[in-house]
Amino acid sequence: MTSNRRVVLLAGDGIGPEVAGEALRVVDWLDRRRSVGFDLSEAQVGGAAYDATGHPLPDSTLEAARAADAVLLGAVGGPRWDSLDFSLRPERAILGLRKSLDLFANLRPAKVFDALSDASSLKADVLRGLDLMIIRELTGGIYFGEPRGVETLPDGTRRGVNTEVYTTPEIRRVGAVAFELARERQGKVHSVEKANVMESGGLWREEIQTLRDADYADVDLHHMYADNCAMQLVRDPHQFDVVVTSNLFGDLLSDISAQLTGSLGMLPSASLGAPGPGGTRAALYEPVHGSAPDIAGEGKANPIAMVLSLAMLLRHSLDQDEDAELIEQAVGNVLDRGLRTADILQPGFTAVSTEDMGRAICAELDRLAA
Ligand code: NAD
């Protein structure tokens, strides 16, 4: 495993190490069969890091993440650490990584594998073959805007304030991520805001349109109000390819799109920073799910979200699209053969453990690469 591309694996807590173990199994497979093309090292994060060093994001981990081309993270958190001061809670490590690496674009694909198209609460024929990407602005907007706070008014009642703020550079840099990605996909972007009632939404719309006209005229751009987008996502999700939106709307819309695919255990994500001088950008890849303390240590966790996060890493940070596709194909084939971890198990299918699922994906990779 020698190369100048560096990847840091942060397994974390709960089911984090279990699903990370299956991603490592796939990395080993890549190393044996495809010459993996990156150096992989491991570092501590979350509650495990707190237990070992007194901090959920030790300096050594942050430095390793900063020096890497990409970070692959399992999950953090658990009841053991819930009584810690807020600043030392395992979940702070993720916020710390996002902030330190300036990860401003959150990518959440919603891809429905044929074998699971009837696992969602929506009708299978609305979902079959679905493949869309929600890009959420992650470091700006109402979650960070000033002024914010709660004040007591002279009459004794209280007033809570949060402020939606976006600037031209903040909008354009996340817009550029969406347009670039659309070029590699179906060439269509929906930009989502509430320009009808919010000035910041009006600015968002204008800036995205200006960026598109100047640099991405080949991409098909649509503007949509956020409330309509929520409705359209469940009515006819196939109309979307790439959706780009603010922090708040992205938080909501990505959870709706997650539900389209049926299970938390299937959902990967990426958070990207700005491209550096060499064209590479800071990037963190992680499953959408948390550390699932209710099933940790029982071999029940679905490793697919983590394995698909590795596939995203290969595609978006290492330009190894072919390997990413191979992994996604292997996952699809294993599901087609009826293997299911407990979270996606339905009557008539074969229940498998976390490790069995990882082994089956590697066996399928063997078959595909033969
Ligand atoms: P969770 O995602 O950990 O679990 C929610 C439910 O989904 C649980 O029933 C769990 O068993 C199930 N689940 C999740 N991932 C699964 C998988 N891969 N396979 C099978 N089932 C799976 O969310 P939660 O219970 O709200 O949070 C648990 C802990 O995780 C908390 O400490 C929380 O702060 C932390 N958390 C961490 C992250 C992260 O690391 N990015 C994200 C969310 C929550």
Q: Is the pLDDT of residue 204 over 70?
A: yes
Say what the pLDDT of residue 3 is.
63
Relative to beta strand 281-287, strand 268-275 is antiparallel
User: Any idea where the domains of the chain sit in the sequence?
Assistant: 1-107+267-370, 131-260
- What is the band of 331 on the pLDDT scale with cuts at 50, 70, 90? very high
State mean pLDDT over 117-126. 87
265 CA to middle of ligand 1, Å? 9
Reported as a pLDDT band with limits 50, 70 and 90, residue 327 is: very high
Q: Is 291 in the pocket of ligand 1 (CB under 6 A)?
A: yes
User: What mean pLDDT do residues 319-335 have?
Assistant: 96
State the pLDDT confidence band at 120, using cuts at 50, 70 and 90: confident
The whole-model pTM stands at 0.94
Q: Are 260 and 130 in contact (CB under 8 A)?
A: yes
Please give the CATH architecture assigned to the domain spanning 1-107+267-370: 3-Layer(aba) Sandwich (3.40)
Q: Please name which of 252, 290, 225, 246 lies closest in space to residue 144, comparing C-alpha atoms.
A: 246
In angstroms, the Cα distances linking 293 to 14, 89, 283, 305, 356 are 5, 15, 26, 17, 20
- The residue whose C-alpha atom lies closest to atom 25 belonging to ligand 1 is 292
Q: What is the pLDDT of residues 145-186, one digit of tens each?
A: 999 999 999 999 999 999 999 999 999 999 999 999 999 999
CATH class of 131-260: alpha beta
Position 252 pLDDT exceeds 90: yes
- 39 given a catalytic annotation: no
| pLDDT at residue 238 in the model | 96
- Identify the pLDDT of residue 37: 74
Q: Which one is catalytic: 82, 114, 236, 255? A: 255
Confidence band for 263, pLDDT divided at 50, 70 and 90: confident
Q: What is the mean pLDDT of residues 122-150?
A: 94
Q: What is the pLDDT of residue 171?
A: 98
Provide mean pLDDT across the span 71-94: 96
Question: What per-residue confidence (pLDDT) applies to 261?
Answer: 83
Q: Which of 71, 138, 289 to mutate to test the pocket of ligand 1 (most atoms within 8 A of CB)?
A: 289
Phi, psi of 41 (to 5 degrees): -125, 165
Looking up tokens 């699971």 gives: 116
Query: Is 90 exceeded by the pLDDT of residue 241?
Result: yes
The predicted pLDDT at position 190 comes to 98
* CA–CA gap between residue 299 and residue 173 (Å, rounded): 41
Q: Is the pLDDT of residue 279 over 80?
A: no
Give the pairing type, strands 268-275 and 105-111. Answer: antiparallel
Q: Do domains 1-107+267-370 and 131-260 have the same CATH topology?
A: yes
Active site residue 251: yes
Percentage of the residues of the chain whose pLDDT score is greater than 90? 87
Q: Is 225 a catalytic residue?
A: no
**pLDDT, tens digit (0-9, with 9 covering 90-100), for 21-44:** 999 999 999 988 877 778 999 999
Amino acid at 242: V
pLDDT surpasses 90 at 138: yes
- Separation of alpha carbons 192 and 257, rounded Å: 14
Residue 82 has pLDDT above 60, yes or no: yes
For ligand 1, atom 6: residue with the closest CA = 292
What's the mean pLDDT when you consider all of the chain? Answer: 95
pLDDT tens-digit profile of 48-71? 999 999 999 999 999 999 999 999
Residue 252 · residue 230 · CB < 8 Å: yes
Closest CA to 267 of 290, 288, 250: 288
Q: Which of 31, 102, 131, 143 is catalytic?
A: 143
Residue 157 CB: number of other CB atoms within 10 A?
7
